[in-house]
């Protein structure tokens, strides 16, 4: 079984880590975190993300996609670059997912139509490539559930990262086959998730930090880093009344299955 933790969603290539990235990774390893899955954001994050993945090919796995907050006036040319990386793969990178993609109505609703177009387009690419999707939802979960329920997307594999909906939405997504990403929010007092996470199947939960964002308690407000995935795992121990070893083994197996990284027999 698995004796390590996985951070299924961490922007470890972000400039917030430029002055201490290797120390940060060493702290994560000391906390038992051995794999880090890196979501792309836009054309500017590709270079630092691929550089980090090339430096640590055994532990850092890159994704490719356009984040909904980066779907702006130039979204067509941004999508073109993403498509090129996924299908022509000029860097020979081994992308583990299409992400992060989704809808974000919190920061702006100016480009909602374009966001939905970009989301559907990237989902189609994921299906073509047999890759999972890593989905970002903010004030947009109703629309996202409707879209992923459309016939052409049924059977698509993926995760709703940093899940923050209600129990009925969580159950609907599990029913559709999605994993739910559990991060720092589960450690917040008014996070909501703590009220019903006991009713969700443990084999559909993956752990994530979303570092450098969404720092768990008691470090809320400071920079988040991958070592803190341990705090998220510990919070699940408290909420689910399941021992740490089991939480670690099951969430790690879930993440490996999500990204098609389970060893093949």
Site residues, Zn ion (CB under 5 A)? 39, 210
Count CB neighbours of 247 within 10 A: 21
CB of 98 to Zn ion, least distance (A): 13
Q: Which C-beta is closer to Zn ion: that of 104 or that of 210?
A: 210
**Rounded to 10 degrees, what is the CA torsion of 210, 215, 216, 219?**
150
CB of 49 to Zn ion, least distance (A): 12
Q: Which C-beta is closer to Zn ion: that of 5 or that of 38?
A: 38
CB of 214 to Zn ion, least distance (A): 9
> In this structure, what token pair is assigned to residue 255?
């993440």
CB of 265 to Zn ion, least distance (A): 32
Cα–Cα distances in angstroms (integers) from residue 256 to residues 131, 135, 205, in the given order: 13, 17, 12
Rounded CA-CA distance 16/223 in Å is 8
Q: Which C-beta is closer to Zn ion: that of 219 or that of 244?
A: 219
CB of 210 to Zn ion, least distance (A): 5
Q: Which C-beta is closer to Zn ion: that of 39 or that of 165?
A: 39
- The 3-state secondary structure of 173-220, one letter per residue: HHHCCCEEEECHHHHCCCCCHHHCHHHCCHHHEEECCCCCCCCCCCCC
Q: Which C-beta is closer to Zn ion: that of 210 or that of 230?
A: 210
**Beta strands 33-38 and 205-207, pairing class:** unpaired
- Is 136:101 a contact under the CB 8 Å cutoff? yes
């Amino acid at each position: 079984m698995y004796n390590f933790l996985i951070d299924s969603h961490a922007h470890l290539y972000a400039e917030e880590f430029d002055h201490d990235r290797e120390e940060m990774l060493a702290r994560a390893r000391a906390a038992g975190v051995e794999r880090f899955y890196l979501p792309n954001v836009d054309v500017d994050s590709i270079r630092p993300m691929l550089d980090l993945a090339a430096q640590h090919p055994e532990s850092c796995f890159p994704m490719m996609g356009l984040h909904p907050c980066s779907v702006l006036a130039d979204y067509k040319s941004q999508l073109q670059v993403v498509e090129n990386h996924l299908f022509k793969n000029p860097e020979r990178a081994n992308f583990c997912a299409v992400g992060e993609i989704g809808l974000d109505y919190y920061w702006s609703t100016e480009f909602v139509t374009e966001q939905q177009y970009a989301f559907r387009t990237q989902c189609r690419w994921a299906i073509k490539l047999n890759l999972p999707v890593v989905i970002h939802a903010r004030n947009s979960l109703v629309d996202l559930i409707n879209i992923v329920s459309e016939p052409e997307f049924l059977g698509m594999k993926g995760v709703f990262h940093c899940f923050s909906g209600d129990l009925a939405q969580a159950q609907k997504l599990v029913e559709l086959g999605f994993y739910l990403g559990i991060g720092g929010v589960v450690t917040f007092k008014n996070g909501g998730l703590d009220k019903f996470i006991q009713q969700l199947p443990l084999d559909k939960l993956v752990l994530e930090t979303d570092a450098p964002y969404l720092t768990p308690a008691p470090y809320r407000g400071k920079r988040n880093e991958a070592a803190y995935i341990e705090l998220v795992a510990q919070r699940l121990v408290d909420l689910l009344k399941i021992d740490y070893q089991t939480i670690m083994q099951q969430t790690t197996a879930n993440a490996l299955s999500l990204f098609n990284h389970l060893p093949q027999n």
